[in-house]
Amino acid sequence: MPSSLKSTSEPIAISTRLTQTTSNQFTLKRIDLQLNPLDLEVFVVTGVKIDFLNLPGHEPLGVALKSMPRYQAAVTKTQPASMPTIGSSGTVGFATIMSSAETLGTPPGSVISAVIESSSTDTPAADMDYLDIIATSDFFVCLDSFLTGVGELCDVAVRVHGYRARATAAQYAALVQSEQLSQ
């Protein structure tokens, strides 16, 4: 734990699930941490786990590649207007998964499929005390899809690990200002 923060809770795991309502569209969910700003309370994030659920299957068409559908999910400290990346300053965790299918031969014979998944760390490296600090009272789970067929919707499950802590007045002011400026 950062030496100047005072833990005010035991470790907490916050879990949620976000389901797309429309394919190829950015979806967002706000999660309230119920932090007490009068006590200068912050949430220290020690780990983020993002799992994609119910990925649509792909039916190969002819000899050409049908598509390269891609699903992205993120946990952010501020409300983004569009899908953030791991390069966005307010992003705490990010994951992406792509899949493709191709049919070989005429008439169609063998089917080749591939899935590529990448994500930011599920837990911090051994020498890291935390991943990020959230000073405002909420965080956001984001989900987006690209090049998917009509009705191909995805779900994502997210678990954020951390604990509540009390910051000094100067730390709290700097953290809140940093979050607000990163929007």
Give the DSSP H or E segment for 13: strand 12-19
CATH architecture group of domain 6-53+69-96+116-181: Sandwich (2.60)
Tell me the C-alpha distance between 68 and 104, whole Å.
Answer: 17
Residue 124: both structure tokens together: 């911090």
- The rounded distance, in Å, linking the Cα atoms of 87 and 74 is 11
Residuewise pLDDT in 10s, the chain (183 residues)? 566 789 999 999 999 999 888 777 889 999 999 999 999 999 999 999 999 887 765 444 444 445 567 889 999 999 999 999 888 888 999 998 877 666 666 655 555 566 666 776 655 666 788 889 999 989 999 999 886 666 677 889 999 999 999 999 999 999 999 888 876
Question: How close are the terminal C-alpha atoms of the chain, in Å?
Answer: 26
pTM over 0.85? The answer is: no
Is 141 within 8 Å of 95 (Cβ atoms)? no
